Amino acid sequence: MAQPRLRLAFMGTPDFAVPVLDALVAAGHDIRAVYSQPPRPTGRGHKTQPSPVQARAEALGLPVRHPVSLKPEEEKAAFAALGLDAAVVAAYGLILPRAILEAPRLGCLNVHGSILPRWRGAAPVQRALMAGDAETGITIMQMDVGLDTGAMLLKGIVPIGPDATAQSLHDTLAALGAELILPALDGIAAGTLVPEPQPEVGVTYAAKLSREESALDFREDAGVLDLKVRALNPWPGVWFEHQGERIKLLAARVEDGRGVPGMILDGDFGIACGTGVLRPTLLQRPGKAPVERRAFLNGTKIDPGVILPCPATN
């Protein structure tokens, strides 16, 4: 028996949230309002652009709101006036005050990109990959005032393969979130889905990504650096320095070998690391298009024996 459609607000900002919005619309739910972060300057021209969620909502003919904060009393009142059954939140990026969390009849449900309680916080997909986790997933969570501390409703597990990148995991998890939110809403509305408190053991925090993490330190293990390359692509990316240029490393493979960290070991660009060898497969010079290793070496002279600099340590 089909569940009755629910009066919903959707709250999200980046590409990750768009499939969830599409799923709610396709299921026939009544989207009373879409909340997204305000349009911001992007790209080289710094032209103000709406978020991916705002753009998709407008294409669907849905009303969009983009307050800079939900703390003002008028914003809380406007949200309460929607008369919601529930709000669905996916990578929104703003703190929801208690009054917002408690306004919908069934509360606020969050589509979170990890297997809670592991990787609460801002960058769960990238942190799981950088840590070498064997799996990640989606947790549909009933939100409370804590940072991703609410009770869990549904989980879906995704293995992290040897070639997984932050982008590939992002796309897989976005689709899984769209798949899981519908039965979660049905279950919570019907009273058949009982929220499960998160365990106190196994809590980790996924700190926000920063550009300060981008420099490759070849004193580290080659496997660790490979995970970093895959986790920080496309943003903020990773780089090494050669002859005053910051060269982005977009993909690489790990091999056996040893040498002084940062040393070019052969004519095919094997780079010695603290343990093992990292061999770039896709690189990008400033202002240039990404190229495969051989094309890069044809245009950039890096002889065996050259030692690439490592970042200074405090």
DSSP character string of 188-214? HHHT----BPPPSTT--EEPPP-GGG-
Q: DSSP assignment, residue 54? A: H
pLDDT score at 1: 46
- pLDDT of the residue at 2: 54
Per-residue pLDDT of the chain (314 residues), as tens digits, is 456 799 999 999 999 999 999 999 999 999 999 999 999 887 777 788 999 999 999 999 999 999 999 999 999 999 999 999 999 999 999 999 999 999 999 999 999 999 999 999 999 999 999 999 999 999 999 999 999 999 999 999 999 999 999 999 999 999 999 999 999 999 999 999 999 999 999 999 999 999 999 999 999 999 999 999 999 999 999 999 999 999 999 999 999 999 999 999 999 999 999 999 999 999 999 999 999 999 999 998 899 999 999 887 65
Contact in structure between 280 and 251 (CB atoms under 8 Å):
yes
**How much is the pLDDT for 313?**
65
Rounded Cα distance, 53 and 69, in Å: 17
**What pLDDT does residue 112 have?**
98
Nearest 5°: phi and psi at 4?
-65, 150
Token readout for 139 is 């947790």
pTM equals 0.93
Indicate the fold that domain 7-206 takes in CATH. Rossmann fold (3.40.50)
> Tokens 């509305």 appear where?
189
Domain-wise residue ranges, the chain: 7-206, 211-299
Q: How far apart are CA 166 and CA 234, in angstroms?
A: 8
* DSSP H or E run through 299: helix 293-299
Instruction: DSSP for 242-279, please give it.
Output: ETTEEEEEEEEEEE----STTBB-STT--EE-SBSEEE
Q: Which residues of 82-96 are buried (b: 16+ CB within 10 A; e: fewer)?
A: bebbbbbbbbbebeb
User: What DSSP assignment string belongs to 148-201?
Assistant: S-SPEEEEEEEE--TT--HHHHHHHHHHHHHHHHHHHHHHHHHT----BPPPST
| Helix locations, 60-136, DSSP H | 73-80, 98-102, 124-130
Rounded to an integer, what distance in angstroms lies between the CA atom of residue 232 and that of residue 75?
35
Give me 196's structure tokens: 């499960």
Residue 263: strand pairing partners: 307
Distance CA 258, CA 135 (A): 30
Query: What is the CATH T-level fold of the domain 211-299, as seen in this structure?
Result: Methionyl-tRNA Fmet Formyltransferase; Chain A, domain 2 (3.10.25)
Three-class DSSP category at 128: helix
Report CA Rg, the chain.
23
In degrees to the nearest 10, what's the CA dihedral of 227, 129, 284, 274? Answer: -20
Task: Give dist(CA 187, CA 181) in Å, integer.
Answer: 10
Residue 20 phi, psi dihedral angles, 5° rounding: -65, -45
Secondary structure of residue 17 in the 3-state scheme: helix
Instruction: Report the candidate in 142, 149, 153 with the shortest Cα–Cα distance to residue 118.
Output: 149
